[in-house]
Homo-oligomer: A and B are copies of this chain.
Amino acid sequence: MRTVVWQSLSETQQESVLERPAISEGANITAAVTDVINAVRSQGDDALLVLTEKFDRVTPASLRVSQDEIDAASERLSETMKQALEQAYNNICKFHKAQKPQPLKVETQPGVVCEQVTRPINKVGLYIPGGSAPLPSTVLMLGVPAQIAGCRKVVLCSPPPIADEILYVAKLCNIDEVYNVGGAQAVAAMAYGTETVAKVDKIFGPGNAYVTEAKRQISNDFRGAAIDMPAGPSEVLVIADETANPEFVAADLLSQAEHGPDSQVVLVTPSPIIADKVADAVSRQLKLLSRQEIAVQALASSLVIVAESLTQAISISNFYGPEHLIVQTKNPRELLPLLDNAGSIFLGQWSPESAGDYASGTNHVLPTYGYTRTYSSLGLADFSKRMTVQELSAEGILNLAPTVVAMADAEGLDAHKRAVTIRLDALEQCGRLDNLSN
C-alpha cells in the first residue's frame, strides 16, 4: 500500500492520486457486443442456445428453469444456508418497505390541486453474474425491491449452471421466470425479448465488461430498455482516527480488495501511527486469505492518505466520492452531516462493509467510480416511477388564468393561451364566472 501525506502534495498531485484508473472499454468489446445483440434480435432463442454453448460451454435442458428444478434446489440447500438467506431477506425487506413513498397532495392555489403518484415499473429484468462463486446476495438486492415495488413481471438471467442458492432466493423473492442465459446475450434477450425470454422495461444488475457494454448499448436505443446505473470497479474508503482498531480497518480494506484486481481501496487518517499500524495489519492478514492473489493486485494500486485533520479527511472523502465509506472514529455519528458523495456509509467499529454487502438491510448495488456525486444507492425508487397529477376546479382555472395567459403571451404560444380562455368563455356563458369571482 502506497502512503502519501496530503499536505505535501500540490493540488494537481492531490487530484491525480485520487483519480480512478480509466476503464479500457476497447473497440473489440463494443463490436463483439453489437454482434451478440444483433444475433439475439434476429435469431432469438436459437442465438441464445448457440451463444450459451459457446461462452458457457453448457447446453441447458431448456432456456427457462422449471419450477421442479427450483424446488429441487431448495431441497438440496442446508437449513443453515436457508436461514441465513431468509434472515438477510427479512432485513432487506424491512429497509426497502420503509422506502415506500407517502402520498403527496398539495393545493397550490385555491382550486388547483397537485399530486404525485408512484407506480411500479411493469416489467423488470435482473442479471446475476456467474463466475467462480454464486451471488445469491445480488439476487436479494435486486429481487426484494422489485417485489416490494410491485413490479408485475420480474425475470432473472444467469449463466448456467445456476447455483442452488440463487434459485432459492429467486423463489423467496417470487421471481416469475428464471432463464439459463448469461453475458451480453442475456441483456439483449431481456431488452428485446425472444420466443422464451420476456422483454422487460428496465434491466438491473452487475456484470463483466461485456454485460456492462451490452447494458450501455441497449439503453441508448429507445426500443431497448432502461438500466439501473453506470458500472465501475468496486471501492471502499475508510476514514479512521487514532481511536480506530487497526485490525478491523485492515480486515475491511481486505474485504474490498478481494472483490477483484481492479478494486479500489483507500484509507484516510489524520494519524500517521494508525496509517502504519493498518499497513502492517494488512500485510499480516493478507496471508490468511484464500483470494490472496486477487487482493494483492488490488492493494498494489491502493492508497493510504495521511491528512492534517479529520475535517480534511472528510473533504478528501467527499471529493473522491467512494461507493462504500467506512467511518471508524471516536464519534462517527457526529460526522454524518458532513459526509457527502458516498453510496453507503458504515458508522463505527462494529459496522463492517460485509454487513451491508449481505444482510444489514441496505442495498449493495451502489454508484461507484465517482458517480456517487449524482447517482443514488439502489432502492425502491429505482423500481418505480413518479407521475404528477393536477385537477383544477372551475375556481382553480379562474385563479390560475391570468398567470397562464401572461406566460403564454411571453412565450408566444397562442394555443396554450386559448386552452385557458376558451374555458373562461364557457364559464362566462353559463353565468358561473360572476359567481366564482364574488
Contact = CB atoms under 8 A, between A and B. Distances in A.
A55 interface: no
B354 A388 contact: no
A396 B258 CA distance: 24
Given A202-B374, A381-B386, A415 B258 contact: yes
A363 B347 contact: no
Nearest to A102: B102
A371 interface: yes
B361 A108 contact: yes
B91 A112 contact: yes
B389 A291 contact: no
A4 B392 CA distance: 31
A82 to B, nearest CB: 9
Interface of A: 23, 80-81, 83-85, 87-88, 90-91, 94-95, 98-99, 102, 104, 106, 108-109, 112, 114, 116-117, 119, 121-122, 132-137, 165, 201-202, 216, 220, 222, 225-226, 230, 232, 245, 247-248, 251-252, 254-255, 257-259, 285, 288-291, 295, 332-333, 336, 339-363, 367, 369-377, 379, 381, 385-394, 396-397, 400, 402-408, 410-420, 422-423, 426
A305 to B, nearest CB: 21
B373 A201 contact: yes
Copies of the chain in the assembly:
2
Given A108-B94, A285-B418, A412-B290, A387 B391 contact: no
B361 A114 contact: yes
A374 B374 CA distance: 18
A362 B114 contact: yes
5 contacts: A23-B222, A88-B407, A346-B390, A347-B391, A354-B416
Given A85-B406, A251-B415, A336-B389, 19 more contacts: A80-B406, A83-B406, A84-B402, A95-B388, A133-B413, A288-B414, A289-B418, A291-B413, A345-B388, A346-B391, A350-B397, A350-B423, A351-B392, A352-B419, A353-B419, A354-B413, A354-B417, A360-B390, A381-B386
